[in-house]
Amino acid sequence: MKPSAPPPSERSRVRRAEDRGHYDRETIHAIVDAAYLCHVSFVDQRGPLCLPTAAWRVDDHVLIHGSNGSQMMKSLAQGTPACLAITHLDGLVMARSAFSHSMNFRSVVVHGAFEPVPDADKEEMMHRLMDHLAPGRRLEARAPDRNELAATTVLRLPLFEAAAKIRAWGPKDKEEDLSWPVWAGVLPLAQVRQTPRAEACIPADIPTYVQAWAEQQPGPA
């Protein structure tokens, strides 16, 4: 696979195993859309931090949110330099030689600075998070009220300085190892949706979108 777009910046260029790098919008969006969470790096008085948080995409931004009181939200809202990563692990790659073992994965790494979503857009952005988690549910759940929205910081990071990295194939052994008498292949891993578990007091009727969620098993793009 050849990258169909050039790296947007030098620091976004995939340098190890360059053939796994992709910079086109479609590939990057697909990897972000397959995720429910990301890891965000930034630096505060504690040193470098790497924290997991919920993530969703709206157009050319990846969004995160949290309480106004969160130190992470406060630091990132100021536009402090940040890096965001999303990684899907798709398998363990068993080569003939220990050295050539690898993993299949799809990742996106984004450099940049977050900016706060303006108050006027916050409600719509939170609806979009719900659409990402459980399409259809925003019509039924109790909508956020003014106080809840006011207590929430929503931040967005442009998907501009972004690079995807993908490995999606079997082992690549050295020529001289190919005859080594050992099983070789891929041990595939997938994030699988399991049967929804209702709260004890909930009536037995499962709404269509909950049923649909469990029946739909998104895989690698």
Cβ neighbours of residue 221 closer than 8 Å, sequence gap 6 or more: 27, 30, 31, 34, 106
Q: 10 Å Cβ neighbour count for 154?
A: 25
| Three-state DSSP class for residue 133 | helix
Q: Out of 68, 150, 190, 218, point to the residue binding a second copy (CB under 8 A).
A: 190
Residue 24: CB minimum distance to a second copy, A: 20
* Pair of tokens at residue 35: 């995720």
> Does 160 participate in binding a second copy (rule CB under 8 A)?
no
Among 34, 54, 58, 221, binds a second copy (CB under 8 A): 54
Compute the least distance from the CB of residue 87 to a second copy, in Å.
4
216 binds a second copy (CB under 8 A): no
Residue 212 binding a second copy, by CB under 8 A: no
- Binding status of residue 138 toward a second copy by CB under 8 A: yes
Nearest-angstrom CA–CA distance, 6 and 37: 26
CB atoms within 10 A of CB 195: 7
What six digits make up the tokens of 130?
A: 């719900």
Q: Which is nearer to a second copy, 24 or 99 (CB)?
A: 99
- Angstrom distance (rounded) from CA 221 to CA 57: 16
Q: Checking DSSP bridges between strand 152-158 and strand 161-167, what pairing results, if any?
A: unpaired
Is residue 175 at the binding interface for a second copy, with CB under 8 A as the rule? no
Task: Tell me how far, at minimum, the Cβ of 122 lies from a second copy, in Å.
Answer: 12
Q: Report 55-94 residues binding a second copy (CB under 8 A).
A: 66-67, 69-71, 81-85, 87, 89, 92, 94
Task: Tell me: does residue 187 bind a second copy (CB under 8 A).
Answer: yes
Take residue 172 and report the two structure tokens written for it: 């690549």
- How many residues bind to a second copy according to rule CB under 8 A? 89
Chosen residue from 6, 135, 188, 218 binding a second copy by CB under 8 A: 188
In angstroms, what is the minimal distance from the CB of 9 to a second copy?
9
CB nearer to a second copy: pick between 6 and 207: 207
CA atoms within 13 A on the CB side of 39: 12
